[in-house]
Amino acid sequence: QVQLVQSGGGLVQAGGSLRLSCAASGEALINYAVGWFRQAPGKEREFVAIIWNGGSPSFSTSYASSVKGRFTVSRDDAKNMAYLQMSDLNPEDTAVYYCAAQRSGSPWSAAEYQSWGQGTQVTVSS
């Protein structure tokens, strides 16, 4: 089973950008779709984005409506890495962000992911 370690995040002003990284080890990331979730204080963990692996559909992506057009998910399987580029951030984006990997299952359900990163805090000030 793949292990995930996250980096990036931090404090940024509204309108700014951040990039989160997710490094995989123990197994080739190409075997997994990679999803990104976030959890704000007092709220449930919510789906942010997913990038599928080379199987089907090949490297396609999907985004939550709240981030579409502002966030971009990508992957570099040669480096066993996945990324979440976040732009035009606003205070409502403040949360702990998680990357997660799944071989199959509903991409929008956190319960369908087999491996999780440790989470990284993103704070957007107004």
Kindly report the three-state secondary structure assignment for every residue of the chain. Answer: CCEEEEEECEEEECCCCEEEEEEEECCCHHHCEEEEEEECCCCCCEEEEEECCCCCCCCCEEECCCCCCCEEEEEECCCCEEEEEECCCCHHHCEEEEEEEECCCCCCCHHHCCEECCCEEEEEEC
**Four-CA torsion 1, 79, 9, 16, nearest 10 degrees:** -140
User: Which regions in the chain score pLDDT beneath 50?
Assistant: none
Amino acid 56: pLDDT = 53
d(CA 52, CA 65): 18
Amino acid 99: pLDDT = 98
Amino acid 58: pLDDT = 59
Amino acid 77: pLDDT = 92
